[in-house]
A and B are shown apart, each in its own frame.
Chain A
Amino acid sequence: MPHRTFLTFIWPSALAMLLFIALPVLSVGIQSLHIEHEQIVQTVKNCGPFGCKEVDIVDAEATALLQKEQPLGRFNGLGTYANRNHLAVEEISAAWQAGGGVGSFVDTLLNLPFYKALAFTLTYTFVVTPLVLLLGFFIALAVNRLPGLMKGPTIFVSLLPMIVTPLIGSLILFWMIDAKGVIGGSLQLIFDNPDLSLKASPTLTWVTLIVYGVWHSAPFAFVVFYAGLQTVPKDTLESAMIDGATRWQRVRHVILPHLAPLLVFIALIQLMDNFRVFEPIVGFNAEANATSLSWIIYNDLRGSDGTMLFSSAAATSMLTIIGVCILLAPVVMRTWRDNRQRA
């Protein structure tokens, strides 16, 4: 296809991606180097019946004017990245110099908002992904053994956790494990502990979120593995059987190698999706014990403290994007090498 024709076909799509993905990334980058204006303060004499006092008041008009002239705020360099809410350079070097062993250093680290979020995001990503692969694989093996008539309905039910809106799915589970919900209430009864609550302890909150993540994503792995199982070569299986391979050996040496490319595919998609974990934290109301990178950006932009913290959100976004690039680097490198060999 000549370059010209290619361009006529692809430009609407390319323009959309350029304007709303590439440019925003640039805009985030610039925004992260700026910081909100300080409010302009005027000292005025305030005279009342009991004498005069000097009072500082915010000059709202002048602040608004400055805001209008320079909407980005003032230039701050890498200041936002280094402050306490992001990489916390000072706090970390102080904690490092204070000594006190690895334990206390990690404690300090996990009390800083960015590192707290990063810790949960990484734990979530790297615990949920393998569990999803494992559960999906076993569901696929089990469904594959079913008689034909049963397969359709089973697949229908299995797809539900994946298809449902993430926020809604987490709310549905949250209402059940809530202290007053059916599972939470029963657990209190079983352990005879009326204060038992999955929300109260950080560990239980993390476990709950991870269970939700596996529940939500296992159907995806299941469907892909199930489709892969349909294409396992029958002859190889039979010859393995004739050679005396046990059932487990056939799974291990015939089926698993056949599914290996699918495994890589699922792992890649899962790493990307789990790294952006966000909705379950809102749904489970878990922000006290678990935050993720996406969640702290949302929290800054929502303006829950009265103002929207654009620069703070932008700095976290840049760090998140860098994280995504690191996560994808091995994949891109491998694809590039394959492509070069083929060319």
Chain B
Amino acid sequence: MTRSPLWLSGLSIGFLVLWLAVAAVPFLWTLWGSFKVEADFFSKQDWRFALQGIRTIAETGAAFTGAGYEGAWVKEEFWRATINTAIITFSVVAISLTLGTLGGYALARSGFRYAFWILIIALVFRAMPHITLVSGYLLPFFQMNIWGHLSTTIIVMVAINQPFTLWMLHSFFLNIPKDLDESAMVDGCTRFQAFRHVIIPVMWPGVITTGLFSFLLAYNDFALTALLLTEENQTMVPKISGFLGNAQEQGNVMYAVSAVVSATAPLFVLVLFFQRQIVSGLTAGAVKG
């Protein structure tokens, strides 16, 4: 390869630095600002107030304050929403992976035309905006008296998650050679025994990757959780949007800022540990075309 001209390297590096700033600075700024008072983070006079914390020092005596976090977690009981989010995301990931592995395996090994059509229907389902389905749920759920429970939301999310899970696991199972389970069946295993003893031990990379995306879907959801849960069952995201509703009261905006930082932190940890799996998951669908 020839060395590239200096201007091109410069341009490329400059562009990248600009992009990284655009990608990262909003998060750093909000993290920093969440330890200030509202008059600093939303300073009318000078944005540098947020850096130096002039009002924060005037109001609280120190350059950093945890008042926003205290208000959100203790006064507004954000911990309750955190527990709800934990219950929902854990259950959704566990159930959708169980159903998805079985279904994805069947689709990858079927060989009949209808398997292809199931995948196409799943694609159409995947494209449907979630909120259109919610308008179909609400009235029946009210009638059956199952609206507002965590378990209802979990089942709904599992179902909405299925099309994506099926596609993803289907393409992972296609990558596992057919000979593996077929030779087990030649040796006298039934299909289930072959799945249990031969496929399950080798499927974990694909399952973990798919699980990450199921986690993100459940964790990031707003449309379903905002409309399907009662106030005390609310998860973090609708809870944060609730903070904004009564933002007129002094200080409440900072509750929302601290809650936003708290809810983003687990996602950072997730990317930190699973970057490789996320990247491979995003490309898995693409490589198949």
Question: Interface residues, chain A, CB within 8 Å of chain B?
Answer: 1, 3, 5-6, 9-10, 12-14, 16-17, 19-28, 31, 71-72, 135, 138-139, 141-143, 145-146, 152, 154-161, 163-168, 171-173, 175-176, 178, 180-182, 185-186, 215, 219-220, 223-224, 227-228, 241, 247, 261-262, 264-266, 269, 272, 275-276, 278-279, 282, 285, 293-294, 297-298, 300-302, 308, 310, 313-314, 316-318, 320-321, 324-325, 327-328, 331-332, 335-336, 339, 343
B103 touching A71, Cβ below 8 Å? no
Q: Mark B46-61, 1 if CB is under 8 A from A, else 0.
A: 1100100000000000
In the complex, A321→B125 CA distance in Å?
10
In the complex, A204→B289 CA distance in Å?
37
Q: A9-B105, A223-B283 are in contact. Are A156 and B275 (CB under 8 A)?
A: yes
Point out which of A167, A285, A321, A325 has the most chain B C-beta atoms below 10 A from its C-beta: A167
B286 touching A265, Cβ below 8 Å? yes
Could you pull out 15 A-B pairs where Cβ atoms are within 8 angstroms? A1-B112, A145-B12, A157-B20, A163-B270, A163-B278, A276-B130, A298-B223, A298-B227, A301-B131, A308-B138, A314-B136, A317-B135, A318-B132, A320-B129, A324-B124
| Chain A: minimal CB distance from B38 (Å) | 9
In the complex, A241→B115 CA distance in Å?
45
B100 touching A13, Cβ below 8 Å? yes
Query: Given the complex, which residues of A lie within 8 Å of B100, measured CB to CB?
Result: 13
In the complex, A313→B129 CA distance in Å?
13
Query: Given the complex, which residues of B lie within 8 Å of A175, measured CB to CB?
Result: 30, 33, 41-42, 257
Binding stretch for chain A, among B62-70, B71-79, B159-167, B201-209: B159-167
Q: A265-B286, A266-B286, A332-B120 are in contact. Are A145 and B4 (CB under 8 A)?
A: yes
Query: Given the complex, which residues of B lie within 8 Å of A224, measured CB to CB?
Result: 282-283, 286
Query: Given the complex, which residues of B lie within 8 Å of A324, measured CB to CB?
Result: 124, 127-129
B129 touching A275, Cβ below 8 Å? yes
| Chain B: minimal CB distance from A286 (Å) | 13
Q: A16-B162, A178-B42 are in contact. Are A10 and B135 (CB under 8 A)?
A: no
Is B106's CB within 8 Å of the partner chain A? yes
In the complex, A24→B219 CA distance in Å?
23
B286 touching A262, Cβ below 8 Å? yes
Q: A10-B107, A224-B283, A320-B132 are in contact. Are A19 and B12 (CB under 8 A)?
A: no
Our pick among B26, B42, B132 for the contact of A321 (Cβ within 8 Å) is B132
Query: Given the complex, which residues of A lie within 8 Å of B13, measured CB to CB?
Result: 142
Is B158's CB within 8 Å of the partner chain A? yes
Our pick among B124, B126, B282 for the contact of A325 (Cβ within 8 Å) is B124
